[in-house]
Amino acid sequence: MAKRTMTLNLTEAEMQVLNELCSKKGLSKTALMRQALRLYQAVETRLDRGDKLLFENEETNEKSELMVL
Exactly one of 16, 19, 23, 28 binds other proteins (CB under 8 A); which one? 28
Looking at 7-15, 23-31, 47-55, 61-69, which segment touches other proteins (CB under 8 A)? 23-31
Query: Which residue from 2, 6, 13, 66 is in contact with other proteins, where contact means CB under 8 A?
Result: 2
In whole angstroms, the minimum distance from the beta carbon of 22 to other proteins comes to 10
* H, E, C per residue of 34-53: HHHHHHHHHHHHHHHCCCCC
Residue 29 C-alpha from the chain's centroid: 13
Q: Is 47 in the site for other proteins (CB under 8 A)?
A: no
What is the distance of C-alpha 11 from the center of its chain?
17
Cα–Cα–Cα angle for 34, 67, 7, rounded to 5 degrees: 25
Nearest distance in Å: CB 41, other proteins: 5
